[in-house]
Amino acid sequence: MLADIAIENLGVIPAASADLAEGLTVLTGETGAGKTMVVTGLRLLAGGRADASRVRTGALQAVVEGRFVTSSLAAEAAGQVAELVDAAGGAPDENGEFIASRTVNANGRSRAHLGGRSVPAATLAEFAAPLLTIHGQNDQLRLLAPEQQLVALDRFEPAVGPLLENYRRAWREWRALEKDLRQRTESRRELAQEIDRLQFALDEIDAVEPGPGEDADLLTRIRRLQDVDTLREDAATALSAIDGPESLGGYSEDDPASTLLGRAESALSGSEDPQLKELGERLTEITTQLSEISVELGGFLADLPADPEQLEELLQRQQQLKMLTRKYAPDIDG
C-alpha cells in the first residue's frame, strides 16, 4: 500500500503531504481545491505519463514522492515486489519500506526513482501495480478488458482454482500440438516443393537425354572439327611418307618408307648370317606395324568430317550438356 505521499509544485499545490490508511482512501473537496493534482501525483507515482504543463507556474520542477509498504501483501506478491526493486538496483530503507519518486521539469524532462536508484517509468508502473490502484468515474470500463474479466472470474469461487489449472494444462497441450501440426504442415510443404524441384530437374535432364561420357566425346569431336585442316594435313603427310604420294593420288620418283623397308627386309631375311637374319625378322615386325598404321591413317582421313554445320550442332549440344552439369553435377556421368 501507499503509506504517505508528498507533492511539490504540481499545479495549484505548492507543497502538500498526506498520510494514507490501509484500504480505500476517498478524495473529496470543493472545486479548485486540488483533487485533480493529487490524483495526477498518484498517477505519476504509478508510472503514468508526465506532462510539463502540470508544473506550477514559476517553478523549475514538480516533485512527487511516496512511501510504499508491502506488509499487507501476500508473501508471494511481497517477494515479487522486492525482486523487482532489487533487479532495478534499488533497496528498501531501514524500515523495509520502499521510496518512489517522480520529478517533472518545466522543460518536459521526467525522471523516476525507486529504492534510491533511477529507473524507467515502466519499472515504476510495474512496481506500483500490486500496491496502488486509482479508481475513477470510468473504472467500470476496466471490466471490458479480458484480463480483468479473468481476474474477477478466478476470485469468484475457490473451486475455480483446480479448473483453472486443468484448463492451463489443456491449453499448454493444445499449444504444443498446434506447434507440432504447424511444423509438420511446413515440413510437408517443403517436401512438396522439393519434389517439384526434383521433378523439374528430371524433366530437364530427360529433355536433353545425355549419354554416358557424352561430354568428353563431344569435346574430342569438337576439337577435331575445329582443327580438321591441320589434322588432315598431318595425317596425309604421315601416310605419304609411309606409302608414297600415290596413296593420296599423287606421283613421285622418291620411294616411300614401306618400299624401302620391304627391300631391307628381303635383303636381310635372305642372309645366311644369324645376326642379319635376326635383324630381318625384327624388320618384318616393323613392316607389319607400319602397314597397320597406314590402314588406320587412311581410315582416320576418311572419317574426318567436312561439314561445317556439324560443328555448330555439336557446339549447341555441348551447351545443353554444360547447362545440366552447372546445375546438377560436375560431369554427365555424375
CA distance 309 to 15: 104
Cβ 312 vs Cβ 216: under 8 Å: no
Please choose, from the candidates 110, 90, 143, 140, the residue with its C-alpha nearest in 3D space to the C-alpha of residue 43: 110
- pLDDT tens digits, one per residue of 282-291: 888 888 888 8
pLDDT higher than threshold 50 for residue 333? yes
CA angle 245, 248, 251 (to 5 degrees): 35
- pLDDT tens digits, one per residue of 153-179: 777 777 777 887 888 899 999 999 999
Higher pLDDT, 136 or 85: 85
Please choose, from the candidates 256, 90, 190, the residue with its C-alpha nearest in 3D space to the C-alpha of residue 248: 256
Mean pLDDT on 8-26: 91
**Average pLDDT over the chain, rounded to whole?**
84
Lowest mean pLDDT among 68-72, 127-131, 220-224: 220-224
CB 82: neighbour CB atoms within 10 A? 17
pLDDT higher than threshold 70 for residue 278? yes
Task: Please report the pLDDT score of residue 244 as a whole number.
Answer: 64
Task: Please report the pLDDT score of residue 255 as a whole number.
Answer: 64
Lowest mean pLDDT among 71-85, 148-162, 171-185: 148-162
Task: Please report the pLDDT score of residue 250 as a whole number.
Answer: 44
Which of the listed ranges 49-53, 145-149, 156-160, 303-307 does the model predict with the highest average pLDDT? 49-53
CB 90: neighbour CB atoms within 10 A? 21
Which of the listed ranges 179-193, 226-240, 291-305 does the model predict with the highest average pLDDT? 179-193
pLDDT higher than threshold 70 for residue 307? no
Confidence of residue 248 (pLDDT cuts 50, 70, 90): very low
Task: Please report the pLDDT score of residue 252 as a whole number.
Answer: 46
Q: Which fold has domain 2-136?
A: Rossmann fold (3.40.50)
| CB half-sphere exposure, 80, CA atoms < 13 A | 12
Task: Please report the pLDDT score of residue 249 as a whole number.
Answer: 47
- pLDDT tens digits, one per residue of 220-240: 877 777 777 777 777 777 767
Task: Please report the pLDDT score of residue 146 as a whole number.
Answer: 86
Task: Please report the pLDDT score of residue 225 as a whole number.
Answer: 76
Lowest mean pLDDT among 112-121, 132-141, 208-217, 265-274: 265-274
Task: Please report the pLDDT score of residue 118 as a whole number.
Answer: 94
Cα-flanking dihedrals φ and ψ of residue 18, to 5°? -155, 140
- pLDDT tens digits, one per residue of 86-108: 999 999 998 899 999 999 999 98
